[in-house]
């Protein structure tokens, strides 16, 4: 492994570009903050980090942290603490597709090792690395909560379940070629009905 | 009262304690010591070190005593096998990643972890895995970090946020990856940052200047007083042979609690820089080395013919001040001046001191800062205001729009802004308002009526009542209140220093006052008594070396009027002689009347003359002034702050290398707070 999980690093970096909220996000922020009592706006730090990550190509830069701190009127170190605590906030740039492979026991028993190998081979990058074409970043994660459909992976916001080596390769190939993928079970199951 | 008491048992001993305490505090009262790392009296409760485990009857598991509230009938056990085993387990966990580098650790010998490991540690580690290593973090020129030693108690994080009021420290990551750092590893911008060194229970945060200098058991401890601001924080000076190696706070709940400012903690290297170690006499426009005999003879001859004036500096103790006054009385009256900054006063003590006891500031609900920047003038008072602010007090500011570590409402730049509508409204609502008049205005006031108006204003808005006096006058100098009490000023008028009549004197004796270099003394014969060679000494005709406050005994009266003693730590540098003994010698030769033969005689004579000063540690009691005038009228004056650079406000800190580094790394790089504002 060349480096650690992008969400588990305590080192943040600058993107070099100014980060300011998009219009849509400004509207959502107003809505989110209104859910908390007055004077407790800081409670909205987690949803705001999520929005910032979405807007900022899937990672949190120092500029994002500073914008959030300003929006919520809280110390920057407090935002940094939260962003570094949770592994789902990436602290460094990741590829267009963040491939998270579940390696917890149920998926592992059903062969997540093979899935990992296939993905690494197909994307040409090691775990925790980003591919040269910046298309993929591959990471191993703990349980994503779809145990009955293991082995499974998450790519950006979508789950791909009931995988085997073949279907995994196809998913990666489709992404490379820009073709749409079937989300969810690759064996045609609806949610987690009996196979 | 009895409603608040509950009955509990600690190790089968029945006691009655306040029901609002925690289990740990109750155990302390019962005389049981509970080991702890994260818990600290002055900080919020975190409960993350787990060292303070105790057994509570009927509770299935051990509980952390610092977080557990008391209940009626609770039976606490602190010495059972189970408790011991629990604490041993916790200690084993804490030591998994703690390096075994005590022999090269600055905390060695005064380390909480080291001490408690003696009771709860195992002799061997059961872990074969590698210990984790953590990168050291930059926290500025004062705090040294060896973060591998950190046990994540978060005391420093809580201190920065809750006491210093600079939320710049935090814990990043979690579990094995947890790290304490400042935001982007910038320097801590607080004037109280050195206190994290005392708070750190291990050797993760240590003092940079003290690094590898000494072991605690080699040091001689001397009780002293911080003389670099007027608060009079209690300090302990640690020295080895004739050198001071560090300065730490002494606990005084009435004044500094457990904190001291970075200036007194770290400027001690300046004590030994640029010292005047021998008498000098000016020959051909150049100071050349002389000796005591020659210089005193020269001075004596001058004193025979020329009419002298004495100036008293900012770091002068009471005994010296008294000796000066006594010596100068041979030349008539009104020839000693300590108000070299034109500090305006009335005659009574309550017109130049901080009338609210310092530990009462936090109870105020409305604070008006008038021409003062407490953050850099008196960081300890600033901390107390910050406490009040956290208790929902409103803070108003008049003068310059200064940036503080709490929010203030800015009213304007002149004294007349005291009549601001919003302020009056708030004053009328307030139950415990407090006004702080700072030197920025006091030094500019030309008309005594303005001071009287301030009193009338305070009276009108119930800042002064029969029970309390919350009208405070704040100056940043350690010597001022004491010198004024013994009457070392030429008049009671405003601008005493500017009004000194040139024709009335031909010789100036400056006791550590740099104002001797002012143009107004150009034609006088100048004599400088002091310890550091700066402008004052450079321009003088005779320079006589005197000891620093750590090299002699002395009394200082702090800003709230509390006399305290600073004790001698080591012998003076070079051939420096105490001021009183120089004056004694001169008086003998001039056949003046100057009785004391020893310092103790001088001190007891001072206390006989001014019995109010003899009661160490007690605030001098005075009746409230009754100088109320019917019409309130504030003159228009522009605020000029006495301290512009916290790290370099006096001759000693100006000569400190550590303070110079602070200026470079903390002040020159814009602070986080300013950037975010």
Closest CA–CA distance from residue A9 to any residue of chain B (Å): 7
Closest CA–CA distance from residue A187 to any residue of chain B (Å): 38
A14 touches chain B (CB under 8 A): no
Say if CB B625 and CB B345 are below 8 A apart.
no
- Under an 8 A CB cutoff, do A77 and B182 touch? yes
User: What H or E segment, with its residue span, contains residue B580?
Assistant: helix B579-589
Q: DSSP characters for B221-265? A: EEEEE--SSTT--EEEEEEETTEEEEEEE--BTTTTBT---HHHH
pLDDT above 50 (res B677): no
- Under an 8 A CB cutoff, do A84 and B172 touch? yes
- Under an 8 A CB cutoff, do B183 and A76 touch? yes
**Nearest chain A alpha carbon to B166:** A75
Over residues B470-498, the mean pLDDT reads 91
Question: Which pLDDT belongs to residue B169?
Answer: 95
Q: DSSP characters for B319-349? A: HHHHHHHHHHGGG-SS-EE--TT-----SSG
Hey, of A3, A10, A11, A67, which one would you mutate to test binding to chain B, going by the most B CBs within 10 A of its CB?
A10
Say if CB B600 and CB B593 are below 8 A apart.
no
Interface residues of chain B, partner chain A, Cβ below 8 Å:
161, 167-174, 177, 179, 181-184, 672, 676
- Under an 8 A CB cutoff, do A75 and B183 touch? yes
Chain B neighbors of A8, CB-CB under 8 A: 173, 177
- Under an 8 A CB cutoff, do A81 and B676 touch? no
Question: Which pLDDT belongs to residue B2?
Answer: 59
Closest CA–CA distance from residue A76 to any residue of chain B (Å): 7
Question: Which pLDDT belongs to residue A4?
Answer: 84
**Nearest chain A alpha carbon to B673:** A75
Chain B neighbors of A80, CB-CB under 8 A: 170, 172, 183
B528 forms beta bridges with B510, B543
Give the pLDDT band of residue A22 (cuts 50, 70, 90). Answer: very high
Say if CB A99 and CB A123 are below 8 A apart.
yes
Chain B neighbors of A67, CB-CB under 8 A: none
pLDDT tens figures, B88-115: 999 999 999 999 899 999 999 999 999 9
**Nearest chain B alpha carbon to A67:** B676
pLDDT tens figures, B319-339: 999 999 999 999 988 899 999
Ramachandran quadrant class, A12 (left: phi over 0; alpha: psi -120 to 50; beta: rest) = beta
pLDDT tens figures, B250-291: 999 999 999 999 999 999 999 999 999 999 999 998 999 999
pLDDT tens figures, A65-97: 999 999 999 999 999 999 999 999 999 999 999
Task: For residue B183, give the nearest of A8, A70, A80 by CB distance.
Answer: A80
- Under an 8 A CB cutoff, do A80 and B174 touch? no
Question: Which pLDDT belongs to residue B172?
Answer: 95
User: What H or E segment, with its residue span, contains residue B384?
Assistant: helix B379-390
Mean pLDDT for chain A overall? 93
ipTM of the complex as predicted: 0.89
- Under an 8 A CB cutoff, do B168 and A77 touch? yes
Give the pLDDT band of residue B670 (cuts 50, 70, 90). Answer: low
Hey, of A4, A61, A64, A75, which one would you mutate to test binding to chain B, going by the most B CBs within 10 A of its CB?
A75
Segment B281-290 long-range contacts (CB within 8 Å, at least 24 positions apart)? B281/B541, B281/B542, B281/B543, B282/B540, B282/B541, B282/B542, B287/B537, B287/B538, B287/B540, B287/B543
pLDDT above 90 (res A9): no
Chain B neighbors of A12, CB-CB under 8 A: 184
Hey, of A73, A77, A80, A81, which one would you mutate to test binding to chain B, going by the most B CBs within 10 A of its CB?
A77
- Under an 8 A CB cutoff, do A77 and B676 touch? no
Pairing of strands B409-412, B394-398: parallel
List the end-to-end C-alpha distance of chain A, in Å, as a whole number: 36
The string over B545-575, giving b where at least 16 C-beta atoms fall within 10 Å of a residue's C-beta and e elsewhere, is bbbbbbbbbbbbbbbbbbbbbbebbbebbee
Inter-chain Cβ pairs, chain A and chain B, closer than 8 A? 39
Chain A neighbors of B676, CB-CB under 8 A: 69-70, 75-76
A61 touches chain B (CB under 8 A): no
SS3 B7: strand
Task: For residue B171, give the nearest of A69, A75, A81 by CB distance.
Answer: A81
Residues 6+ apart with CB under 8 A from B54: B23, B24, B27, B34, B62, B63, B65, B76, B77, B78, B83
Strand order, beta sheet including B243-249:
B220-225, B234-240, B243-249
Task: For residue A81, give the nearest of B170, B184, B672 by CB distance.
Answer: B170
- Under an 8 A CB cutoff, do B168 and A75 touch? yes
Q: Alpha carbon of B574 to those of B546, B565, B652, B656: distances in Å?
A: 9, 24, 17, 19
Question: Which pLDDT belongs to residue B158?
Answer: 97
Per this entry, what is the length of chain B?
677
pLDDT above 60 (res B674): no
A62 touches chain B (CB under 8 A): yes
A70 touches chain B (CB under 8 A): yes
Question: Which pLDDT belongs to residue B675?
Answer: 45
pLDDT tens figures, B75-87: 999 999 999 999 9
pLDDT above 70 (res B669): no
Chain B neighbors of A69, CB-CB under 8 A: 676
* R_g of chain A computed on alpha carbons: 18
For B167, the token pair is 């939320």
Closest CA–CA distance from residue A90 to any residue of chain B (Å): 12
pLDDT above 50 (res B229): yes
User: What H or E segment, with its residue span, contains residue B85?
Assistant: helix B81-96
Interface of A with B in 105-164 (CB under 8 A): none
A85 touches chain B (CB under 8 A): yes
- Under an 8 A CB cutoff, do B167 and A78 touch? yes
Hey, of B172, B177, B186, B671, which one would you mutate to test binding to chain A, going by the most A CBs within 10 A of its CB?
B172
pLDDT tens figures, B628-643: 788 888 988 889 999 9
Percent helix / strand / coil, chain A, rounded to 5: 40, 10, 50
Residues 6+ apart with CB under 8 A from B223: B234, B235, B236, B237, B250, B565, B566, B567
- Under an 8 A CB cutoff, do A85 and B676 touch? no
Over residues B125-153, the mean pLDDT reads 93
Q: DSSP characters for A66-104? A: HHHHHHHT--HHHHHHHHHH-TTS-SS---SEEEEEE-S
- Under an 8 A CB cutoff, do B676 and A84 touch? no
Chain A neighbors of B672, CB-CB under 8 A: 76
pLDDT tens figures, B145-199: 999 999 999 999 999 999 999 999 999 999 889 999 999 999 999 999 999 999 9
Question: Which pLDDT belongs to residue B296?
Answer: 95
**Nearest chain B alpha carbon to A78:** B170
Over residues B650-655, the mean pLDDT reads 93
The string over A125-161, giving b where at least 16 C-beta atoms fall within 10 Å of a residue's C-beta and e elsewhere, is bebbbbbeeebbbbbbbeebebbebbbbbbbeeebbb
- Under an 8 A CB cutoff, do A85 and B174 touch? yes
* R_g of chain B computed on alpha carbons: 27
d(CA B578, CA A15): 62
d(CA A38, CA A44): 12
Pairing of strands B336-337, B308-312: parallel
pLDDT tens figures, A34-73: 999 998 999 999 999 999 999 999 999 999 999 999 999 9
Task: For residue B173, give the nearest of A62, A77, A85 by CB distance.
Answer: A85
Task: For residue A84, give the nearest of B167, B173, B184 by CB distance.
Answer: B173
Question: Which pLDDT belongs to residue B266?
Answer: 96
Closest CA–CA distance from residue A81 to any residue of chain B (Å): 5
Over residues B657-663, the mean pLDDT reads 94
Q: Alpha carbon of B408 to those of A32, B370, B392, B429, B432: distances in Å?
A: 29, 12, 12, 18, 17
pLDDT above 60 (res B10): yes
**Phi, psi values for residue B71, rounded to 5°:** -135, 155
Chain B neighbors of A76, CB-CB under 8 A: 183, 672, 676
Residues 6+ apart with CB under 8 A from B456: B628, B629, B630, B632
Residues 6+ apart with CB under 8 A from A86: A7, A46
Chain B neighbors of A84, CB-CB under 8 A: 172-174
Q: DSSP characters for B419-452? A: G-HHHHHHHHH-SSEEEEEEHHHHTT---HHHHH
CB hemisphere CA count around B442 (13 angstroms): 23
Question: Which pLDDT belongs to residue B672?
Answer: 45
d(CA A12, CA A60): 8
User: What H or E segment, with its residue span, contains residue B397?
Assistant: strand B394-398
pLDDT tens figures, A118-159: 999 999 999 999 999 999 999 999 999 999 998 999 999 999
- Helix residue ranges per DSSP H, chain A: 23-33, 45-55, 62-72, 76-85, 105-109, 112-123, 165-177
């Amino acid at each position: 492994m060349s480096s650690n999980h992008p969400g588990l690093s305590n080192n943040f970096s600058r993107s070099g570009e100014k980060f300011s909220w998009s219009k849509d996000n400004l509207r959502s922020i107003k809505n989110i903050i209104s859910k908390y009592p007055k004077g407790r706006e800081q409670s909205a730090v987690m949803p705001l980090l999520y929005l910032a990550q979405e807007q900022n190509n899937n990672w949190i830069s120092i500029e994002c942290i500073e914008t959030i701190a300003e929006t919520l009127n809280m110390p920057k170190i407090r935002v940094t603490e939260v962003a570094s605590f949770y592994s789902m906030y990436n602290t460094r740039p990741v590829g267009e597709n963040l491939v998270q492979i579940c390696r917890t026991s149920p998926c592992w028993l059903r062969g997540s090792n093979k899935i990992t190998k296939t993905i690494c081979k197909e994307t040409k990058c090691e775990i925790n690395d980003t591919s040269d074409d910046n298309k993929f970043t591959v990471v191993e994660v703990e349980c994503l909560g779809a145990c009955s459909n293991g082995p499974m992976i998450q790519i950006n916001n979508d789950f791909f379940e009931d995988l085997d080596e073949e279907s995994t390769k196809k998913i990666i190939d489709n992404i490379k070629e820009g073709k749409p993928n079937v989300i969810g079970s690759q064996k045609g199951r609806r949610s987690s009905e009996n196979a | 009262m009895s409603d608040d008491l509950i009955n509990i048992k600690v190790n089968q001993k029945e006691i009655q304690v306040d029901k609002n305490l925690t289990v740990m505090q109750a155990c302390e009262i019962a005389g049981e010591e509970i080991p702890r790392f994260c818990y600290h009296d002055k900080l919020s409760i975190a409960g993350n070190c787990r060292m303070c485990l105790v057994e509570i009857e009927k509770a299935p598991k051990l509980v952390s005593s610092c977080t557990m509230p008391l209940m009626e009938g609770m039976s606490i056990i602190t010495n059972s096998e189970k408790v011991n085993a629990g604490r041993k387990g916790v200690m084993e966990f804490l030591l998994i990643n703690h390096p075994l580098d005590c022999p090269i650790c600055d905390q060695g010998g005064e380390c909480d972890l080291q001490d408690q490991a003696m009771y709860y540690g195992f002799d061997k580690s059961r872990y074969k895995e590698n210990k984790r290593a953590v990168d050291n973090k930059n926290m500025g020129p004062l705090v040294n970090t060896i973060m591998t030693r950190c046990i994540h108690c978060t005391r420093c994080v809580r201190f920065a946020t809750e006491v210093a009021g600079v939320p710049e420290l935090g814990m990043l990551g979690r579990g094995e990856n947890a790290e304490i750092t400042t935001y982007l590893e910038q320097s801590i911008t607080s004037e109280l940052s050195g206190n994290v060194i005392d708070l750190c229970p291990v050797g993760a945060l240590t003092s940079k200047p003290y690094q590898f200098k000494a072991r605690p058991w080699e040091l001689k401890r001397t009780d002293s007083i911080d003389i670099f601001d007027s608060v009079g924080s209690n300090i302990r000076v640690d020295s080895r042979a004739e050198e001071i190696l560090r300065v730490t706070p002494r606990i005084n709940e009435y004044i500094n609690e457990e904190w001291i400012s970075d200036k007194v903690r770290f400027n001690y290297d300046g004590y030994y820089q640029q010292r005047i170690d021998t008498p000098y006499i000016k020959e051909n426009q150049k100071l050349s080395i002389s000796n005591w005999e020659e210089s005193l003879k020269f001075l004596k001859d001058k004193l025979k013919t020329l009419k002298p004036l004495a100036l008293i500096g900012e770091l002068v103790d009471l005994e010296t001040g008294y000796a000066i006054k006594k010596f100068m009385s041979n030349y008539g009256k009104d020839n000693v001046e300590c108000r070299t900054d034109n500090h305006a006063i009335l005659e009574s003590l309550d017109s130049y001191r901080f009338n609210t006891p310092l530990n009462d500031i936090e109870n105020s609900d409305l604070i008006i800062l008038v021409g003062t920047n407490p953050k850099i003038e008196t960081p300890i008072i600033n901390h107390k205001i910050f406490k009040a602010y956290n208790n929902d007090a409103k803070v108003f500011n008049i003068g310059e729009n200064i940036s503080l570590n709490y929010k203030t409402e800015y009213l304007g730049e002149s004294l007349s802004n005291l009549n601001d509508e919003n302020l009056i409204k708030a004053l009328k609502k307030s139950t415990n308002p407090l006004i702080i008049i700072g030197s920025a205005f006091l030094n500019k006031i030309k008309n005594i009526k303005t001071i009287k108006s301030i009193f009338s204003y305070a009276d009108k808005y119930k800042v002064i009542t029969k029970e309390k006096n919350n009208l405070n006058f704040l100056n940043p100098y350690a010597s001022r209140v004491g010198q004024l009490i013994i009457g070392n000023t030429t008049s009671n008028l405003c601008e005493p220093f500017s009004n000194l009549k040139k024709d009335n004197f031909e010789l100036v004796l400056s006791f550590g006052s740099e104002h001797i270099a002012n143009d107004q003394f150009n034609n006088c014969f100048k004599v400088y008594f002091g310890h550091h060679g700066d402008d004052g000494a450079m321009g003088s005709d005779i320079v006589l070396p005197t000891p620093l406050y750590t090299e002699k005994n002395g009394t200082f009266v702090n800003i709230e009027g509390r006399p305290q003693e600073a004790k001698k730590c080591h012998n003076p540098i070079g051939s420096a002689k105490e001021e009183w003994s120089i004056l004694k010698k001169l008086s003998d030769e001039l056949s003046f009347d100057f009785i004391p033969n020893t310092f103790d005689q001088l001190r007891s004579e001072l206390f006989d003359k001014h019995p109010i000063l003899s009661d160490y540690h007690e605030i001098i009691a005075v009746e409230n002034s009754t100088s109320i005038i019917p019409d309130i009228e504030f003159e228009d004056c522009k605020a000029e702050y006495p301290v512009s650079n916290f790290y370099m406000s006096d001759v000693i800190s100006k000569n400190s290398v550590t303070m110079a580094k602070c200026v470079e790394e903390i002040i020159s790089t814009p602070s986080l707070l300013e950037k975010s504002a």
